[in-house]
Amino acid sequence: MRSSVIAVFLLLCLVSASASAESWRALTPEQREALAPLVQQWDTLPEKQRLRLLETAKHYSQLTPEKKQRYHDRLEKWSKLTPEQREAARKKYRAFKKVPTEKREQVKQMVMEEQAKKTQQQASGIPTASVIDQK
């Protein structure tokens, strides 16, 4: 009886321990490398968000250098979105993945062209509307 109660207690401890988000200083070097762009605001982020970001950081080491760069470039903006905005983005992304590959490539091509045009115009000092603003 006593051993069973102890086992249940340990299980509960394990469950609660696995759900605690750590402070920046307590992160592993790998986690810090992955989440480097968030060093300033990490400790101020809500616990739930920190836990989710730690989950994403687990995939960082398996990314290609190009994807690692994208991950770092977008991480700060992503963390500043509201939970609702992030959820909406996930829904859009899921929906976009269901679009036939051919059409998806067309959209990608269009967005890339728009981006290139925008970068070019920004370089020459002409203000322009973004792809998103036009949507």
Partner 1 sequence: MITKLNPGKIAQLLTQSTRQLDADTLSALVAARQNALKKQSVRAPVFELSTGRQTHSLIPDSAQQWVVAGLFVAMLIVGTSFWHHVQEQQLSELDVAILTDDLPIEVFVD
Q: Which residues of the chain form contacts with partner 1 (CB under 8 A)? A: 1, 4-5, 7-8, 11-12, 15, 18-19, 51-52, 55-56, 58-59, 63, 67, 70-71, 74-75, 77-78, 81, 85-86, 88-90, 92-94, 96, 107-108, 111-112, 115, 130-132
CB of residue 107 to partner 1, shortest distance in Å: 8
* Six token digits for residue 110: 């269009």
- Considering beta carbons, is residue 39 or 89 the nearer one to partner 1? 89
Region at 125 (left for phi over 0; alpha for psi -120 to 50; beta for the rest):
left
- Considering beta carbons, is residue 5 or 26 the nearer one to partner 1? 5
- Considering beta carbons, is residue 120 or 130 the nearer one to partner 1? 130
CB of residue 85 to partner 1, shortest distance in Å: 6
CB of residue 55 to partner 1, shortest distance in Å: 3
- Considering beta carbons, is residue 39 or 112 the nearer one to partner 1? 112
Instruction: In whole angstroms, give the CA distance from residue 57 to residue 62.
Output: 10
How distant, in Å, are the alpha carbons of 81, 93, 109, 118, 126 from that of 129?
Answer: 21, 22, 18, 8, 10
- Considering beta carbons, is residue 28 or 56 the nearer one to partner 1? 56
Q: Is the dihedral of CA 103, 94, 132, 135 positive or negative?
A: positive
CB of residue 25 to partner 1, shortest distance in Å: 23
The answer to whether residues 70 and 77 touch, using CB atoms and an 8 Å cutoff, is no
The answer to whether residues 72 and 79 touch, using CB atoms and an 8 Å cutoff, is no
